[in-house]
Every structure is written in C-alpha cells, then in structure tokens.
Amino acid sequence: MKLSLGVKSDPIEYRYSFPWLFRLMADEGVTHLQFGSFFEAYQLPDAYFHRLKTQADNFGISIDSLFTAHRELGGFFQEDQEWQAVARRNFERFIEIGEILGAKSVGSNPGAVPRDLLGTKARGTNCYLAHMKELMRFAKQRGIEWLTVEPMSCLAEPPTLPDEVREMGEILSKYHAENPETTARVGYCTDIAHGYLNQQGEHGCKPMELFEATLPWLYELHLKNTDDRYHSTFGFEPENLAKGIIDVASFRDVLLCRAAEIPVKEMTGYLEIGGPKLGRDYTDSQLEDQLRSSLRHLKESFLATPEAAAAPAAQSPVVITGANAATTVKIAPSMMCVDPMNFESALRRVELLGADMLHMDVMDGRFVPNMPLGVSLIEALAPKTRLPIDVHLMVEDNDLFIELLEKSGVAQISVHAESCPHLDRTLARIREIGAKAGVALNPTTSLDALDYVLERLDYVLLMTVNPGFAGQKMTPASLRKIADCRAYLDQRGFNHFPIQVDGNVSFENISAMVGAGADCLVAGTSSIFHRGAGWNENIGHLRAAISSGLNLRQATLSRINRRESARLTQSEPNQCDTSKRVA
C-alpha cells in the first residue's frame, strides 16, 4: 500500500484564492488536492474549471478528487421530488466538473433524513441507491473511475453504523460487478474522525470500528481530529493534538497491515479542516499556520515514509544506450525566469517536476546589460534545496564572484572565455573551491578558445542566443556549433565532457539540439516555463522532445559507424587478388 497526503480545499472557501492554497501546498511538498464544493460551483461555466486546472498544473498540484463540502446533494432523502431533481442535476454537474479537472473520483455524503420524518429513512435510502446506480453510468461516460460515499456520525445521515456501511457497499459493488464496462466503481471516502454516539451520549461505534467496516470498499480518506464526543473537528496543530483523540498512526498501521482487503493499492488521505472562525481579521490569517502545522504532523504520522512527501525523488534524466556509449540529457530550469515574488514556491514546484539541477544566472550589468539574480540568493538557496546548483557567471570580474561563491555549496560554475584574461587560473580556482568548472562561449566565439584549458574543464556551455535576456531567438549557426563542439571534444579525447546549451531551448529546437550533441538543457520561457500550458504538461513535452533528439542522435551515430566501417573495409587489401602478390 502506497500512502499519499493531500488537502481538501474547504478552509479557503470565501477566505483565500485557490492559487494561495496551491502555493502553500507546493511549499509543503503536498501535491494532491481534493476539490471541495461551494454553492457557486454548480453554476460556473466550464471555462472557470479549465483555468483552475491550469493554475493547479502550474503549481504541480493534481486535482485527483472532488467531494462536497456541505450537504447540498442530499435531496434524495427528501419526500419532495423537486428536491430529488435538483440533487440529481447538481450531482451530474459535479461529475462534469470532475471530468474537466481531470479527477479520478467524485463524491458526497448521501444526504439527511429530516429528523421529524425518520420513518422515511428506508424509502430515502432506496431512492438514493436507485439514483446512484444511474449516476455510476453517467460517471463512467464522463471518464470518472470512482464515485465515493462518506459514512456519517448520525443515524439520520446513512450510512452510519457498520451494518449500514456493509449493506450499502455490497449493493453498489454488486451492481458494478454486474455492469463493469458501463459503470464507475463506488467506494468509501472514510473520515477517521467519524464515530457514533446515541441520544444518551453513549458510544455506539468508535472511529476505528467504522473505519475497519469500510475497508473492503475503501478508496480515500479524510484526515482530521476530533474530541471524545465527535462534537467538533479540528486539525493537528500542537494545541489541538493535546485535546484531540485521533491517533493517525494507528489508522495508517491498519491500512498497511490489511492492505490485501482494500480495493486500491494507493491511498490518499486528505487533510479536511474548516479552519479558524471565518470572516474575522484576527482569525483568517491563522489558517496558513494551521494548515502547515497539520500537514507536517501528518507527514510523520500518516505517511509510511515521511520523507517521500518532504523530498520527492527526482525523475531520472532521459537515457538512451547506443552502440557507442550511454547518453544522458539533463534538465536545468533557468530560475531567472520564475516570479521573483514567489521564488520559493517556484523552487518547490521545479523540484516536484523532476529537474536535475537549478541554473542560476549571475550578471553584473556590465558584461551583459541585466542583473536578475544575486549571490545572496544563491547562498540562501543552497541549504534549502536537494538539487545541485549550476551557476553561470556573466560578469567582467569572474574571480571576485568565485570568491563570493566559495562557501555557498554550488555544484558547478561556468565562466565566459570572453571575460577571463587568465582563464586557466580561474578554472583552477573553481575546482579548488569544490565545484565543477565550465567555460561558456558566446555564439560567435570560436571553439579554439578551449584549446589550452581542456585539462581544467568539466563541461562546456554554449550560448545559443546572445547572453543577457530570456525570450530571444536562437542564432542561425547554433546547431552547427553544437555539432562542431561535440566533434571537437570527441576528437581530442574529451568525449565525456557534457555540452550544456543555453538560449531559446524551445520545444521546437530541443530535438535538433539534442540530436547535434547537447547533454544539458537550460530550460526557460520557451519550454518548461512556457505560458501556453502548465509546468507539468510542459515538462512532458520537453522530455518527449529530448527522446526525439536522442533517437535522432542515435540514427546519426549509426550512419557514421556504417560509413567508417565501409571506409575501413575498402582500405583493407583484397586477400583473393593475386595480381599484387610477389613471386
């Protein structure tokens, strides 16, 4: 069983924007969102939800699930058919919204029987089940895999007791088993803080009992804390841990020990809290601390491997193994392209994308007419990220900046041959401070500049635009220069040197760049940060372009090998030609 952590969006309703929540989640390394309903959602046009999905993608957030935040789909338990019609219409719209957002599941609690009409509970339950069977077909048509149901804490809101949970689960699962190709599955979204007390305040069912009853149909979880009477719910901040009764780790242990009984292999638990008192200046601002504190507790208590949420593993670079050697292409996002007002959020999102290193441009306003990032930012960044930092100096006094970077912990530093009068000494000093040394060449600078420093180098950076600004077009000779540089290094025995390319590394250019010999791509506004799509979609396009380029490179290598083989064959003497034998 793989455990994941997410957030339900309820506490931002009428308080904060979705981008505010996305940014916080990205900061915390939590990427799963459960969209909580609000009254206007059912009337908003499709375009709103398409924009919301793009916003989530831009922060690396996946909207995997939708679930009601109120009881607004509970009309099936009302005697008035008008209520039933509204509930059905809104439920179908909720499913449509799930399709737009790319969710796998859509859910709600079934509804509530009026307390003065409890005798209608059985009739209301049958009405609900009949509509659910039809909604299972509607969901399947819309690409939704699961419809989810939340057991509640009141007999007027079924299912509540374990027997009700089992009965409803069996009825709906049987219907799906009879119609597997035309219906979505039904599972439980179980709230670990739900239990049952009767009218006398006596325990009828504790949270763990209800939780265990849902296991054969369990799809997802709501994670929150409560008191011993299930009277109020809250998060997992230190002050609430003291008064709450929920031991999250015990629920986690049941999931792991009884995973064979559960119909899914990956379980997401969504933090579901209402937040502080809504609409008060002295309370609304407390929500951020509540969410962060609760998420950090859940990383330790719910996730089987807490480090998985705090530091997601980077994706491996795209690799191809050919006849000559294995080739890797690394992705180095150019951090000068992100919003400086939200730099840390952008950093977390880039980490989640699976980048290989962070490309940091340092300029002095003299060698190039720009000054986007400074040394102080790099010093602050190094202890905050697991990614290697790749520094590109575009300055006149390289030696000064290298000394400033000595204790920053950066992985590699490239300097421009055009601004280094003592290039050999400068490269040696970079290695002395523990970093890899690279030489950067402007578009018109000859490869001859590398002739007498190859022994000091670890990589070469080729500028494919004139340095200083993002958004420029690639210079016409760039692809030829990449190929020439690859041949230059190979012929001199330095075929292990990677070639980094920087400038207009676009979806249109990447394949040709990689095909020509580029091994590391400085990705900016024309690829990973392209405004035409979300960052997750962009990284997919980027990797596809890399794969295409590697295939192109392999085809080129194969042609070269065939030509070389033919040349060698032609140069060998024909052993059957006796005319040239000496008597």
Closest CA to 237 of 274, 287, 290, 303: 290
Task: Give the integer Cα–Cα distance in Å for 563 and 569.
Answer: 10
Beta partners for 36? 67
* Amino acid letter, 160: T
Interior angle at CA 434, CA 432 and CA 438, nearest 5: 85
- Of 64, 458, 502, 519, the active-site residue reads 502
DSSP H or E run through 187: strand 185-191
Would residue 63 be called left, alpha or beta, if left means φ above 0 and alpha means ψ between -120 and 50 degrees?
beta
Is 361 catalytic? The answer is yes
Name the token pair of 283.
């309370």
Burial class (CB in 10 A: 0-12, 13-18, 19+), 563: exposed
Tokens linked to 300: 């330790």
AA identity, residue 65: S
Residues 6 or more apart in contact with residue 81 via CB below 8 angstroms:
none
Per-residue b or e along 329-345, where b marks 16 or more CB atoms closer than 10 Å to that residue's CB: bbbbbbbbbbeeeeeeb
- The type of residue at 409 is G
For residue 101, CA distances in Å to 48, 105, 339 come to 10, 11, 25
Measured CA to CA, the distance from residue 176 to residue 133 in angstroms comes to 8
Ranges of H-type helices in 142-206: 162-178
The verdict on whether 502 is a catalytic residue reads yes
Catalytic residue among 27, 361, 364, 458: 361
Pair 460, 439: CB distance under 8 Å: yes
Collapsing DSSP states into helix, strand and coil, what is residue 521? strand
- The helix-helix angle for 535-571 and 46-58 (nearest 10°) equals 60
**Cα separation, 318 vs 40, whole angstroms:** 44
Place of tokens 């635009």: 465
Q: Note whether 96 and 143 are within 8 A (CB).
A: no
Q: How far is CA 421 from the centre of its chain?
A: 44
The answer to whether the CB of 440 falls within 8 A of the CB of 417 is yes
CB 275 within 8 A of CB 36: no
Q: How far apart are CA 351 and CA 536, in angstroms?
A: 11
Burial 237-263 (b: 16+ CB within 10 A, else e): beebbeebebebeebbebbeeeeeebe
Residue 412 has which token pair?
């590699």
User: What distance in Å separates the CA atoms of residue 119 and residue 358, rounded to the nearest whole number?
Assistant: 65
Instruction: Give me the count of residues in the chain.
Output: 583
User: In terms of DSSP bridges, do strands 326-333 and 318-321 run parallel, antiparallel, or are they unpaired?
Assistant: antiparallel
Active site residues: 361, 502
